[in-house]
Amino acid sequence: MNKPSKVRNAFTELRAVLGDSISAMDALELASALVDIFDDTNEGADDWGHGPTPFDERPLTQVFADGGWRVLNRATRLEEELEREEHLEMMYHQGLARLSMEYY
């Protein structure tokens, strides 16, 4: 079943369950979001045994499909993680240097 059919089915079910408590536009947006969440083709899964393709192994067209925002976000997170590691290593090194000066 293609995505428009899935969205239409989800929309119909949402309208049947929620009725007029939600606007048609909100129901359509929610239906589209639900289809995106549960659509396993977005993750690039090879098959059931391997799971989704790791980010570093995805094709460039897929990685940059959102204009490169995921790449930039990932780079920022990696830089922050590296800074934390460097800070911890520096604290560890300073502690060892202080210990060696006190006892040796």
> For residues 1 and 3, what is the distance between their CA atoms, to the nearest angstrom?
7
pTM of the model: 0.40
Domain boundaries, the chain: 1-38, 55-104
Question: What digits encode the pLDDT tens for the residues 33-80?
Answer: 888 888 766 555 445 556 788 877 888 888 888 888 888 888 888 899
> For residues 79 and 96, what is the distance between their CA atoms, to the nearest angstrom?
26
Query: Looking at residue 8, what is its pLDDT?
Result: 93
Query: Looking at residue 76, what is its pLDDT?
Result: 85
